[in-house]
Amino acid sequence: MQILKFLFIIVEVLVFFNLLIIVHELGHFLAARWRGLVVERFGIWFGKPLWQKTINGVVYCLGSIPAGGYVALPQMASMEVIEGKSEQPQQKLPPISAVDKIIVAVAGPVFSFGLALVFAVIVWAIGRPVSDTETTTTIGYVVKDSPAEKVGLQPGDKILEVDGKPVSRFGGIGDSVTWRIVRSEGENIPIKVERDGKIQEFKPVPVKDPTASWERKSLRQIKIWPLDAAIIDKVAPNSPADLAGLKHNDRIVAVNGQKLYHFLMVTDVIQKNPNEKVALKILRDQREFEVSLKPEVPERIAEAPAPKRKKSNQKSEQVEEDKGPKLGISWNLTGDLSLVHPGPIEQIKLSVNSMISTFGAIFSSKSDIKPQHLSGPVKIMQIYYVLFESDQGWRQALWFSVILNVNLALLNMLPIPVLDGGHIVLALVEWFRRKPANVKIVNIIQSFCAVVIIFYMLYVTFYDVQDLPWNRSKAREPQVRFKAPVAPETR
């Protein structure tokens, strides 16, 4: 069953990933047919053709490498580096107007925006799951000896501003706590919080984790995690939690009388007083009750691979790695999920703003965010895989596809030869000069830019591959086993 599930998820990933590229190319194809351009090939996937057929002078083919598609338009600027050598030299083809070239070039991004809008309408109708950790700006946990702890930030503080800019959520690109910290450029980061009804300001000095020369450089952080409910996922048999009657989906709201903002606070209490009982306040089915239990050292701990250091990865540090006393609880890392129904325009606007913020960071000389921090096809497919693995994954995949299609449209509008924006620039130059650009010069520029883009994609893929799960140790809780309680002797 696991193999079937894996294969099914792979098929879902390939369908979504290929759909966004094929729809983009379909826009070029339909516009070219409408404007009377010569269409040599319409290819779905690359590599050696598994199937091909000529219909009305157009070769339709299915390649062997499932990675998108292309349209061969020999009257446009040459794309031989990507599409192969054309069988119809440009010199022997009838010329086309600059307006036709612009229309064909623009059609791809228009179709990508159109697909994004279709997905956005679907997400609006069916909703997308959002965890409470996404929407909060309240601090749930402060790492020991971190920049945040050194200046006095505490769990329960509600962050209002970071670096002088308001925040409305904890993670993501844009007006989030994490992004404001990453995008800050000063020696310290002014952070305004609300605590007990009073406004206070702190100025932690951000740090960056050390990385190897072959890893992506880490980004600024002050080591705080968002408010995260302590919800029990699993209880180990014969553990203190099991013997106390704790169950799946029980919520721990307080430990030793202290309000709980994050499940790691339970671990901290146990580590500070390993030989003392822990008083937990539990919420179950809208009813609160208290239990007192003493942590125990498990009989056996199955050695789990030490988690590889991950930059700005909250979950990788949320693992109980010590071999001391434990309660036998595994935590629900997804938190409470609720369905939200953002409007289509809101989704498109958020995607555009994220793209603008990302490029603004990349082109800022003082920013730590560099081209190496962008993601390529490998990372995109990995994200799709992770989304489909999760509960309600298809809803999340639809929402992610909105962002991805908007990004594809905007990226292709950049005025770089090979991209659609480059075709538009060349057509505008031709329009103003009232004569076509030199074919040989255009081909040289196109080929050079295509090679640069291919090498950049390989460069980004080098970093993306390092993030694949089979290339790094998975951070997970060690597997533990507790001794069964000894039954009293009978005489």
Domain parsing of the chain, residue ranges = 2-126+391-437, 134-226, 230-326
Q: What is the pLDDT of residues 278-293, one digit of tens each?
A: 999 999 998 999 999 9
Q: What is the pLDDT of residues 446-484, one digit of tens each?
A: 888 888 998 999 999 999 988 877 655 444 445 677 877
Q: What is the pLDDT of residues 390-428, one digit of tens each?
A: 878 889 999 999 999 999 999 999 998 888 999 899 899
pLDDT at res. 134: 82
- In this structure, of 313-327, 328-342, 388-402, the range with the lowest mean pLDDT score is 313-327
**Is the pLDDT reported for residue 489 higher than 70?**
no
Q: Do domains 134-226 and 230-326 have the same CATH topology?
A: yes
pLDDT at res. 203: 96
pLDDT at res. 316: 38
- Those residues with Cβ within 8 angstroms of residue 313's Cβ, 6 or more apart along the chain or in another chain: none
pLDDT at res. 364: 87
Taking the alpha carbons of 213, 219, 224, 227 in that order, is the dihedral positive or negative?
Answer: negative
Closest by CA position to 257, among listed 279, 231, 273, 276: 279
* Dmax (CA) of the chain: 108
**Banded pLDDT at 487 (limits 50, 70, 90):** low
What is the rounded average pLDDT of the residues 192-201?
96
- Those residues with Cβ within 8 angstroms of residue 89's Cβ, 6 or more apart along the chain or in another chain: 74
Catalytic residues: 25
pLDDT at res. 226: 94
What is the rounded average pLDDT of the residues 160-177?
93
Q: What architecture is the 230-326 domain classified under in CATH? A: Roll (2.30)
**How far, in Å, CA of 465 to CA of 378, rounded?**
7
Whose tokens are 């069953």? That residue is: 1
- In this structure, of 1-15, 181-195, 396-410, the range with the lowest mean pLDDT score is 1-15
**Is the pLDDT reported for residue 306 higher than 60?**
no
**How far, in Å, CA of 117 to CA of 23, rounded?**
13
pLDDT at res. 8: 80
* 134-226 has CATH 3.60.10.10 classification: no
Q: What is the pLDDT of residues 252-269, one digit of tens each?
A: 999 999 999 999 999 999
CB of 316 within 8 A of CB of 310?
A: yes
pLDDT at res. 407: 93
Copy the structure tokens of residue 288. Answer: 């609160």
pLDDT at res. 336: 77
Q: Distance between the two ends of the chain, CA-based, in angstroms?
A: 49
